[in-house]
Structure 1
Amino acid sequence: MNKGHSPSTTLDTKDPGDDTLERYKYQCSVAAINCVRLLTASTNVVRVVCENYEDILIEHSDGSFVGLQVKTRKIDLDAFKSTDHAVIKSLSRFCALDQMFPGKFTAFDFSTNHWFWETSQNEKNLPWLIDRIKERGNVKRLPNTNPLRKFVKSICETSTFTEEQVVSTLCKTVLNCRSEPVSVIAVRVREAVGSYPATSELTFSQNAKVAEDLVNLTFQASSKKLDGEVTDLYAAGVSFDAILDAHTLAGKCIRKDQVERLLVPPKDSSEPLELSSLVPIESLPTHLAVMVQKLDKGGLQAARIEQMNDLVQSFQALLFRWINKHGVKQAEARYQTLLATVKFECTEAQIASEAPDTQYAPRMYELLFERLRARVAEEHVDLHGCRPEHLMGAAGMLTEQCKTWWSPKFKIEKA
């Protein structure tokens, strides 16, 4: 025991609470991504329902549903097997829902950030079992020792389902493993928000704020939020329980108009420059965090900022190829020549683009790419065969090194 210790300054490494919340946020983020589909006519999605019979229900315009369960697991733990209790329980819930609402479900989706065990084709291999059952359409005339029949029976034993009922549900079941840490889902939500036409021109910080609001919307829908008039709950002559159930169910349902209010920006876009906020430093990618701050401050669109991340990595990969092929000394000489060339073009593009009280990074980006493309066309050999995209990656590297700015200078937050 150390009297100098304090619970506010000592980390509890055994408390799984924060890990649980992070995994639950993954589920809410998956729901948020599906909410974007409410605004896409081709998907025919009319409602996303959270934590009602399933983790997520996707309702289509013809009244059919897809039931979705999201299972998360630390990426370094064992893969999901068909014999896992969590897997059997989830598939059993799919079967129960299929029987409770016959003909309503066109598909059931078992999704995970992790992966499925597929080392051998045996009773532990869930994808193999599901595929074989779909091929056969039944398990009739199979011996009780057959892996397919044993698997079906393991689900039957959880309730009163018949083999035919279980097989019918399994034939509608889709398995999705994405093999990603749960933290990656925040980037996926931002990408989903940016894919919608009305939000494609948002800056990085605006995009991040909309994505956060969308995840919060699904979190509220998953948390027994009531949606309805308070006066209904106290109205005379009506059943309180019935009204409460109706309000609770309404709170779980996310509609197109709710998502539109978040994703469609207001028509008046004359917000003063000084009110544009930077994305919090803890939300920035750990790599190139300075570059992201500077591009965001200049008002560059989120999609282009993500693209600049990729272009910097592409430029770095080119440098490694040069080192392996030509040696460090020659690669360094090429590197310095390219940086000097790109630095000159960045300066000229900035001077031509900057204007008082204006976020000019989008204009600077376009002008810089035009200049670099022209430079490559004129000096392809001198630039060692680089593409314009490689030079844009060099511009990103210069931005990270504070050699290039995309807005008036400001204090950089250090990660």
Structure 2
Amino acid sequence: MRQQNNQSIPLGLPDQMQGLATAPIDRGDETQERFRYQWAIGVWLLAQSLTGERTFRALWCEHHDDYLLELPTGRYIAVQVKTDSRENIRWRWCDNALVDSITRFCAFERQHGTIIDSYEFFSNAPPYVPAVTTRKESTLAASPKRLTECCARASTYSSIEQPYLNAFTNLVDKTCGDASTLFAVLRKLRFAQGPVLRGYEDALTASVIPKLPGCVSLTTISCCHLRDELIGLVQGACRLRIDGIDGAVAYLATNGRPEAALRGKCITPESAAELIARAQQPHFRFVDSGAGIRIGTTAGRAEVLNRKMRNAYLGSQYESLRMRMDSADQRLMERALVEPYDFEAIATQLVSTVLVECKDIEAMNFDHLDEKTRGLAIYKQILLRMDSLAKEEPEQVCREPKDTLMGIAGMLSGECKFAWGTPLEEDEKDGT
């Protein structure tokens, strides 16, 4: 639900000094947006492979660098993504963010330079290129493009022409302190300009998504959905994420991080193509019909769930489902805080999908003659279906895992939306 125009903002605007206009100190929202920009660049890199513009075997996210492209030849391309919110900014050698990226590339070159084809610097801002009328040597030397071009046509760093040799010497002091390494990096360095910060999502939707295989006829809304799915794919690979049984116990790599988490940083073009194929399938969306559940209000729900499960001879499954139910309730509250504007639609889709699936499974088991095993048969089928939805149709359940979906099933049962195949009667049966 959006904030109404006539509603006051809690505690007012943050960090305002003496009631006067003051820029905020905490810019966490801007930081998050810049992370999303980086993920969008990851989508653009995947799109290059999917459209045949560039061939690579895998995209590694937040592994050695922002992105690492693994080529079919066994060689690599390292990618750094930097953003700058200043208007009409041009990158110069005096910009610390650019120098930091070159420093990182130099460290990479010392370790792995023999198998690195190139280094790429992606940004919403281009590098400074002098005009034909520029004469001042310090201005000319500030151009990153000029220096990389001079390095490319020089046989050694000592033969770089002036005034760019002075710029190179200054850059050596700021970066690795090794002229040979810096020279090798600058000869491999390429600059790429991405979309502007304020319009990168629209640029992806209009210029990139329709060019993906099979996407030319997608509607704008479908392109937006697919864009968000691909950004979510890259976002997930950028996290230190561990799924499956490795989430409990995991073998560690030599850097102390779980090996499973490192494997999760890899996205292949084939996996991206599978996501695109799934996204092109029509997805049923529920509208709000008043069948929701109460979030954050658990009084009496666990007791009702316990009675219903015991009535269906599922008493032994109660504790595990109750834990899922409580965790799902907390998960939904967290998501409501993170995605306040979209949460109503998310909650409607999640609750409606789980309820319909549970009721359908109940209906399919109406002729299960043995009352003592009917509930367990329904429970098993619901488990399998929730797992299938989470893995094979993540868009249908807003990318929530199986445990969240099972927890929602428990919440629905605790609020008398369905009864595991056996309606609750006055005299309870102890099924434990």
Structure 2: unaligned runs, 5 residues or longer: 1-6, 16-22, 288-340, 343-432
Please give the residue correspondences for 1:237-316 in structure 2 after superposition, counting only pairs within 5 Å.
244-265=257-278
SS for the counterpart of 1:56 is strand
SS for the counterpart of 1:215 is helix
Please give the residue correspondences for 1:40-55 in structure 2 after superposition, counting only pairs within 5 Å.
40-41=51-52, 43-55=54-66
- Alignment equivalent of 2:106, drawn from 95, 116, 121: 95
- Alignment equivalent of 2:13, drawn from 10, 16, 21: 10
Which residue matches 2:187? 171
Q: CA 1:131 to 1:213, structure 2 compared with 1: closer, same or farther past 3 Å?
A: same
Which residue matches 1:70? 81
Q: Distance in 1 between matches of 2:285 and 2:247?
A: 44
TM-score normalised to structure 2 length: 0.55
SS for the counterpart of 2:270 is helix
**Does residue 203 of structure 2 align to residue 185 of structure 1?**
no
Tell me by how many angstroms 1:197 deviates. Answer: 2.5
Tell me by how many angstroms 1:141 deviates. Answer: 5.4
Kept in 2: contact 1:56–1:69 (CA 8 A): yes
Q: Counterpart amino acid of 2:149?
A: D
Please give the residue correspondences for 1:384-399 in structure 2 after superposition, counting only pairs within 5 Å.
none
Q: Distance in 1 between matches of 2:166 and 2:219?
A: 54
- Alignment equivalent of 2:149, drawn from 114, 131, 139: 131
SS for the counterpart of 1:51 is strand
Q: Deviations over 1:148-200 (max 9, x none)?
A: 3333333433565532221111101012235x531221123223221113222
Q: Distance in 2 between matches of 1:246 and 1:23?
A: 28
Tell me by how many angstroms 1:9 deviates. Answer: 5.1
**Does residue 167 of structure 2 align to residue 151 of structure 1?**
yes
Which residue matches 1:204? 220
Determine what percentage of the aligned residue pairs are the same residue. Answer: 18
**Does residue 238 of structure 2 align to residue 225 of structure 1?**
no
Tell me by how many angstroms 1:244 deviates. Answer: 4.4
Tell me by how many angstroms 1:274 deviates. Answer: 8.4
SS for the counterpart of 1:76 is coil
Q: Deviations over 1:219-275 (max 9, x none)?
A: 12112123x54248527xx65878943112112111233212321147865x67988
Structure 1: unaligned runs, 5 residues or longer: 276-281, 284-415
TM-score normalised to structure 1 length: 0.57
Q: Deviations over 1:38-59 (max 9, x none)?
A: 4345622111111112111111
Kept in 2: contact 1:113–1:182 (CA 8 A): yes
Q: CA 1:117 to 1:64, structure 2 compared with 1: closer, same or farther past 3 Å?
A: same
Q: CA 1:247 to 1:147, structure 2 compared with 1: closer, same or farther past 3 Å?
A: farther
Q: Counterpart amino acid of 1:246?
A: E
Kept in 1: contact 2:68–2:76 (CA 8 A): yes
Kept in 1: contact 2:109–2:116 (CA 8 A): yes
SS for the counterpart of 1:48 is strand
Q: Counterpart amino acid of 1:70?
A: V
Q: Distance in 1 between matches of 2:147 and 2:221?
A: 45
Q: CA RMSD in A?
A: 3.3
Q: CA 1:198 to 1:95, structure 2 compared with 1: closer, same or farther past 3 Å?
A: same
Q: CA 1:39 to 1:155, structure 2 compared with 1: closer, same or farther past 3 Å?
A: same
Q: Distance in 2 between matches of 1:10 and 1:267?
A: 42
Aligned residues: 268
Q: CA 1:201 to 1:153, structure 2 compared with 1: closer, same or farther past 3 Å?
A: same
Tell me by how many angstroms 1:71 deviates. Answer: 1.2
Tell me by how many angstroms 1:31 deviates. Answer: 0.5
Tell me by how many angstroms 1:5 deviates. Answer: 7.2
Q: Deviations over 1:279-333 (max 9, x none)?
A: xxx99xxxxxxxxxxxxxxxxxxxxxxxxxxxxxxxxxxxxxxxxxxxxxxxxxx
Kept in 1: contact 2:50–2:213 (CA 8 A): no
- Alignment equivalent of 2:116, drawn from 105, 108, 111: 105
Q: Counterpart amino acid of 1:135?
A: R
Q: Counterpart amino acid of 2:197?
A: V
Q: Distance in 2 between matches of 1:266 and 1:116?
A: 36
Which residue matches 2:303? none
Kept in 2: contact 1:133–1:148 (CA 8 A): no
SS for the counterpart of 2:62 is strand
Which residue matches 1:234? 249
**Does residue 36 of structure 2 align to residue 20 of structure 1?**
no
Kept in 2: contact 1:26–1:182 (CA 8 A): yes
SS for the counterpart of 1:140 is helix
Q: Counterpart amino acid of 1:202?
A: L
Q: CA 1:128 to 1:198, structure 2 compared with 1: closer, same or farther past 3 Å?
A: same
Q: Deviations over 1:96-153 (max 9, x none)?
A: 112211321111111211133334452212111111121213222569xx44333333
Kept in 1: contact 2:56–2:70 (CA 8 A): yes
Kept in 1: contact 2:142–2:167 (CA 8 A): no
* Between 152-161 and 212-221, the greater mean CA deviation after superposition: 152-161
Kept in 2: contact 1:56–1:68 (CA 8 A): yes
- Alignment equivalent of 2:96, drawn from 54, 66, 85: 85
Q: Distance in 1 between matches of 2:213 and 2:8?
A: 53
Q: Distance in 2 between matches of 1:101 and 1:217?
A: 28
